Amino acid sequence: MDRHFVSFPKSGRSWLRYALTQLGVADKIFFHHDGFEYNDRARLPLDFNYVARFEKYNQRNRVVYLYRDPRDVMVSFFYQITGRFADIFNFDGTISEFIRDPYFGAENLQRFRCLWAALCKTGCALAISYESCHADFQFVLSTVVRHYGLDVNENDIAAAAKLSTYEHMKRVEDSGEFGHPWLQRRNGKPKLRRGRIGDFTEEFTAADIDYLTSIFGTAPLASAKWNNSR
């Protein structure tokens, strides 16, 4: 596909994906985690090859990269691996052990973020944040639609944004009637958990936060503001 939507797992893409589904254009977009799917029990080596990615994505001008406060990502990622994907990985450690794990942990997330920061700076992708979706979801949705060159009017975008609230999506997931597995329970665990900003403050110890600060810095989103919408 010519249109790519890239994010690290648990960065909040289901929100935009649901809205784009309501607009009838989601099937025109390839949603993926750029090889960091974390759904294979073999735990294949993670690929951080910048040159290969630049050659791949520089040939397209319809790539969107979604990022989120990495501390919140690590919380949601922990619950994904130990809940929805418990049968795949059987990780039984604590959240403190999880963020320090050589495969699942914060260091690999930071390498992924730096990789995509570099790509976005070259103009390979439009960067958007989960936090900006909370600030003005309709604007972000409209920006994504326009970047992809999709023919959707603003009234429909406004209606889709209004429908795509956490509460509504949660009801849809709980009903079990949504036609796609990415918004359905797995292993009895929901895809949507809390949908909040700053959830990490309730999950990590002071020592954990100090460790994450050593990985992500004191202002984790500051170095990620590489939005170049061109």
Tell me what pLDDT residue 1 has. Answer: 60
Average pLDDT score over the chain: 90
Q: How far apart are CA 126 and CA 143, in angstroms?
A: 9
Cβ neighbours of residue 65 closer than 8 Å, sequence gap 6 or more = 6, 7, 116, 119, 120, 125, 126, 127, 128
Q: What is the percentage of the chain residues whose pLDDT exceeds 90?
A: 76
Confirm whether 155 is domain-assigned. Answer: yes
Tell me what pLDDT residue 227 has. Answer: 41
Sign of the C-alpha dihedral computed for residues 183, 184, 187 and 190 taken in this order: positive
Residue 15's domain comprises 4-224
pLDDT digits (tens, 9 = 90+) for 49-93: 999 999 999 876 699 999 999 999 999 999 999 999 999 999 999
Residue 171 host element (H or E): helix 166-175
Confirm whether 230 is domain-assigned. Answer: no
Q: Residue 111: what residue type?
A: R
pLDDT at residue 226 tops 70 = no
Buried b (16+ CB within 10 A) or exposed e, 96-110: eebbbeeebbbebbb
With contact defined as beta carbons under 8 Å apart, do 63 and 128 qualify?
A: no
Q: How far apart are CA 182 and CA 190, in angstroms?
A: 10
Q: Map tokens 């920006």 to a residue.
A: 143
The total number of structural domains that make up the chain: 1
Tell me what pLDDT residue 220 has. Answer: 73
pLDDT digits (tens, 9 = 90+) for 105-121: 999 999 999 999 999 99
With contact defined as beta carbons under 8 Å apart, do 92 and 154 qualify?
A: no
Confirm whether 46 is domain-assigned. Answer: yes
pLDDT digits (tens, 9 = 90+) for 136-159: 999 999 999 999 999 999 999 999
pLDDT digits (tens, 9 = 90+) for 165-189: 889 989 988 888 887 887 877 878 8
pTM reported for the whole predicted model = 0.91
Confirm whether 97 is domain-assigned. Answer: yes
Say which CATH number the domain at 100 has: 3.40.50.300
Residue 228: band (very low, low, confident or very high) from pLDDT cuts 50, 70, 90: very low
DSSP 172-223: HHHHT--SSGGGS-BTTB-S-----SSGGGGTS-HHHHHHHHHHH-SSTTGG
